[in-house]
Amino acid sequence: MMTLGYDKPLYLLAFDHRGSFEQDLFGAAEPVSAEVRDGIISVKEIIFDAHVRAVAEGAPRRICGVLVDEEFGAGVARRAQADHVPLAMPVEKSGQQEFEFQYGDDFGAHIEAFDPSFAKVLVRYNPDGDAEVNRRQTERLARLSHWLRDRDRKFLFELLVPATSDQLARFGGDQRAYDRELRPDLVVATIAALQQGGVEPDIWKIEGLDEAAACERVVAQAQAGDRDDVKCIVLGRGADEQQVIDWVKIGAAVEGFDGFAVGRTLWEEALRRYLAGRFSREEAVYEISSRYRDVIDAYRHAEPASSRWW
């Protein structure tokens, strides 16, 4: 049985988004045209080229990975494998409030076909939310977790804890107040509930937290029991670059946080300019690569010197 956890940092450039590419970048709806599909595939190649550039310019090769989907990113995934780039791929259906497998009962065949470093899920779970939805999600996620563990495959879990209407009302509708004052405790409670339900990720991908003490509580739960090597990484949630850098610095200073996964913050604006004809392809690659390196540098400069291994 493979040890639970992961033994290296992980700096993920995330672009496994599907619905947001279709709707937000291309203004399309399902079913998308062949032209839109080709366009999405093309811009995902731009993002991967930005990753290649960042590594060529000094970003640490063995820990800089990509998170990309099969639907529009199969070619990128193959390139990543050929270049020995750490690769995470999603298992969930895009844009759903409740976790469902993208390929239903065939999820395992798709994981094995691409052989990613990590199978990834995005899950919305609030312990005070719909109990039946939480139960169904936990059962499906436990099934995936057991399947991965039985095959010595790594599991990356992206956890979103959206406020219930009652929770948000407690803060007068102030999302930032909810994020700061209540969400950290809900994250801890959610991780505990999922662990009890048989869901055992190697890495928890956590929305940015505003205080180191909150990060420490999350790590303590993620590593509870015999889970000492389980790690947490910071996700960007599409926030502006300075906010993401602030979250990354807070997480980097806490033992047990060991990387990040950032997406739209790094590539959305550059791709909008490219699609509008205001950026060349080369300019888009440069802009995304530069932003990615900015976040890497912020993380590396903020983390404890004792944890640096390269």
The residue-averaged pLDDT of 97-110 equals 97
Q: What is the pLDDT of residues 206-219, one digit of tens each?
A: 999 999 999 999 99
Amino acid at 134: N
Q: Does the structure show a pLDDT above 80 at 310?
A: no
Q: Does the structure show a pLDDT above 60 at 232?
A: yes
Looking up tokens 């259906």 gives 93
Query: 42-67: buried (b, 16+ CB within 10 Å) or exposed (e) per residue?
Result: ebbbbbbbbbbbbbeeebeeebbbbb
3-class state of residue 207 by DSSP: strand
Partnered with residue 158 across adjacent β-strands are 122, 205
pLDDT for the residue 4: 96
User: Is residue 24 very low, low, confident or very high in pLDDT (cuts 50, 70, 90)?
Assistant: very high
pLDDT for the residue 304: 74
Q: Does the structure show a pLDDT above 90 at 284?
A: yes
**CA 301/CA 231 separation, integer angstroms:** 19
pLDDT for the residue 300: 93
Q: What is the pLDDT of residues 142-175, one digit of tens each?
A: 999 999 999 999 999 999 999 999 999 999 999 9
pLDDT for the residue 185: 98
Q: Does the structure show a pLDDT above 60 at 309?
A: no
Q: Is the peptide bond before 184 cis (omega within 30 degrees of 0)?
A: no
Q: Does the structure show a pLDDT above 60 at 1?
A: no
Superfamily of domain 10-303: Aldolase class I (3.20.20.70)
pLDDT for the residue 2: 61
pLDDT for the residue 307: 58
Q: What is the pLDDT of residues 37-73, one digit of tens each?
A: 999 999 999 999 999 999 999 999 999 999 999 999 9
User: Is residue 237 very low, low, confident or very high in pLDDT (cuts 50, 70, 90)?
Assistant: confident
**CA 235/CA 182 separation, integer angstroms:** 18
pLDDT for the residue 297: 96
User: Is residue 239 very low, low, confident or very high in pLDDT (cuts 50, 70, 90)?
Assistant: confident
Q: 122: closest CA among 218, 1, 207? A: 207
pLDDT for the residue 306: 54
pLDDT for the residue 213: 97
Question: What sign does the CA torsion over 278, 283, 284, 289 have?
Answer: negative
pLDDT for the residue 200: 98
pLDDT for the residue 305: 54
Measure the CA angle with vertex 69, ends 265 and 133; round to 5°.
Answer: 90
pLDDT for the residue 193: 98
Q: 250: closest CA among 303, 292, 291, 296? A: 303
What does residue 186 show for φ and ψ, rounded to 5 degrees? -70, -35
What does the domain layout of the chain look like in residue ranges?
10-303
DSSP H or E stretch at residue 86: none
pLDDT for the residue 160: 97
pLDDT for the residue 308: 53
User: Is residue 254 very low, low, confident or very high in pLDDT (cuts 50, 70, 90)?
Assistant: very high
Q: 218: closest CA among 194, 243, 244? A: 194
Work out the angle between the directed axes of helices 264-275 and 34-56 (0-180°, nearest 10): 120
Looking up tokens 């009962």 gives 105
The residue length of the chain stands at 310
3-class state of residue 135 by DSSP: helix
Partnered with residue 257 across adjacent β-strands are 232
